[in-house]
Amino acid sequence: MSSAAKTLTVWLEMATDNAALRTLPITNDGKAPSFESMAWIGSRGDVHHRAILAELTRLGMVDELGDRVELKAEGFIPANDLAGMLSFFADNGRDHLAASVSNVLSERPPMLERAVFADGLSMDACETIHQLVRTRWGALHHELAHEMRTAVDVGGESATGRIRVGIYTYFEDVPKASLTSSDEMPEHHPQQ
């Protein structure tokens, strides 16, 4: 992860525990949290906080308001950066497919890979379910980010493992009149 992604993750974790921390002073001479202190944690002191602030502002994840900065994002999703989004797409797709192939080939104990499907719903019901998933994922995301950050700190330089945990939701309106015979599900006949 980039220093900007790590900084945002640390900040989101803190803001989840205390919503008042969604707005921080850019710098602070005292012991109170500041964007500078978040950037120092996120980059381990290797990248100046102004460079990280400029990147997060460019990506539309924060707003600089005078001597303060406000968190706008709920996760590091570089929506204003096509190359960044394509990189996320490639990384997430690769790991999802690798887990699927490993499960199909039974190369090791099964990786978590589950999905829930339903059809015959209204688009309003689909959006309601989508928002439920977003809410639940938000809480789990912050818990996972904390656990991963702690594990990285404990692992040190000799640790070589990596993990990606993801989730997706997809829905669309498919009017019944537009279905062709090839789109319809075949009748299910139990095997004996």
CA torsion sign, 29 to 31 to 32 to 37?
Answer: positive
Tens digits of pLDDT across the chain (192 residues): 688 888 888 888 888 888 888 999 999 877 788 889 889 888 887 889 999 999 899 888 899 999 999 988 877 777 777 777 788 788 888 999 999 999 999 989 999 988 899 989 999 999 999 999 988 988 898 888 889 888 988 888 889 999 999 888 888 998 876 555 444 443 333 333
Do 22 and 48 have their domain in common?
A: yes
Do residues 97 and 47 share a domain?
no
Sign of CA dihedral 121, 174, 133, 110: positive
- What are the phi and psi torsion angles at 63 (to 5°)? -120, 130
CATH number at residue 66: 1.10.10
Confidence (pLDDT) at 53: 92
- Shared-domain flag, residues 47 and 86: no
Q: What pLDDT does 187 receive? A: 39
Q: Is residue 85 part of a domain?
A: yes
Determine the pLDDT at residue 10: 85
Full residue range of the structural domain in which residue 143 is found: 115-172
Please give the pLDDT value at position 189.
37
**Does residue 124 sit within a domain?**
yes
* 9 close to 145: Cβ distance less than 8 angstroms: yes
188 lies in some domain: no
What does the pLDDT read at residue 178? Answer: 57
Burial class, 61, CB count within 10 angstroms (exposed 0-12 / middle 13-18 / buried 19+): buried
Rg of the chain, C-alpha, whole Å: 21
Burial of 22 (0-12, 13-18, 19+ CB in 10 A): middle
Note whether residue 185 is domain-resident: no
Query: Do 145 and 13 meet the contact criterion of CB atoms below 8 Å apart?
Result: yes
Is 28 inside a domain boundary?
yes
pLDDT at 5: 85
**Count of structural domains, the chain:** 3
